[in-house]
Amino acid sequence: MINVLERIEFFASKDCDRLVFKSVSGNLSYGQLWESSEVLAARIGALEAEGILKRGEPIAVYGHKEPEMIVSFIACARMGHPYCPLDRSMPESRIKDILSEIGTPVMIRCEDGEAKLYCVTESKSHKNTSDMGKQRVFDEDIMYIIFTSGSTGKPKGVEITRDNLGNFLEWMTGVATDINEKEGKVFLNQAPYSFDLSVMDTYTALASGGTIVSLDKKVLVNPAKTMEFLRSEKPEYWISTPSFVDMILAEKDFTQEKFPDIHVFYFCGERLTKSTAEKLLNAFPDAKVINTYGPTESTVAISQVEIRREHIAGEDELPVGQVKPGTTVFIGMENGYIATAGEDGKVGEILIEGNTVAKGYFRAPEKTDTAFEKISGGRRYHTGDLGYFKGGLLYCIGRTDLQVKVHGYRMELGDIEANILSMKEVEAVCVVPKRSDGKIRSLTGFVVAPTMEGSFGDGKKVKAHLKALLPEYMVPKKIKFIDNMPMTSNGKVDRKKLEEEA
Query: Which residues form the interface with ligand AMP (CB under 6 A)?
Result: 148-149, 196, 268-272, 291, 293, 295-296, 320, 383, 385, 396, 399
Q: Compute the half-sphere exposure of residue 67: CA atoms within 13 Å on the CB side of its CA.
A: 23
**Residue 460 DSSP symbol:** H
Tell me the residue type at 88.
R
> What angle do the packed helices 30-49 and 4-14 form, to 10 degrees?
130
Contacts of 284 (CB under 8 A, 6+ apart): 255, 256, 259, 262, 265
Shortest reach from residue 326's CB to ligand AMP, in Å:
19
**Chain centroid to CA 5: how far?**
22
**Residue 369 DSSP symbol:** H
The residue ranges of DSSP E strands in 155-210, in sequence order, are: 157-161, 186-189
Q: Which is nearer to ligand AMP, 105 or 398 (CB)?
A: 398
C-alpha dihedral, 482 to 486 to 492 to 497, nearest 10°? -110
Q: Which is nearer to ligand AMP, 25 or 303 (CB)?
A: 303
Shortest reach from residue 6's CB to ligand AMP, in Å:
27
Shortest reach from residue 414's CB to ligand AMP, in Å:
9
Shortest reach from residue 399's CB to ligand AMP, in Å:
5
**Chain centroid to CA 55: how far?**
29
Q: Which is nearer to ligand AMP, 108 or 200 (CB)?
A: 200
Q: Which is nearer to ligand AMP, 12 or 351 (CB)?
A: 351
Of 157, 135, 10, give the one whose Cα is nearest residue 82. 157
Tell me the residue type at 389.
F
Alpha-carbon distance values, 37 to 9, 43, 84, 407, 435 (Å): 11, 10, 16, 58, 50
Shortest reach from residue 181's CB to ligand AMP, in Å:
23
Q: Which is nearer to ligand AMP, 253 or 401 (CB)?
A: 401
* Number of residues in the chain: 502
Nearest-CB residue for ligand AMP = 296
Ranges of H-type helices in 348-429: 365-371, 413-421
Q: Which is nearer to ligand AMP, 196 or 236 (CB)?
A: 196
Q: Which is nearer to ligand AMP, 69 or 397 (CB)?
A: 397
Would you say 377 and 365 are in contact if contact means Cβ atoms under 8 Å apart?
A: no
- CA dist., res. 81 & res. 57, Å (int): 6
Q: Which is nearer to ligand AMP, 22 or 156 (CB)?
A: 156
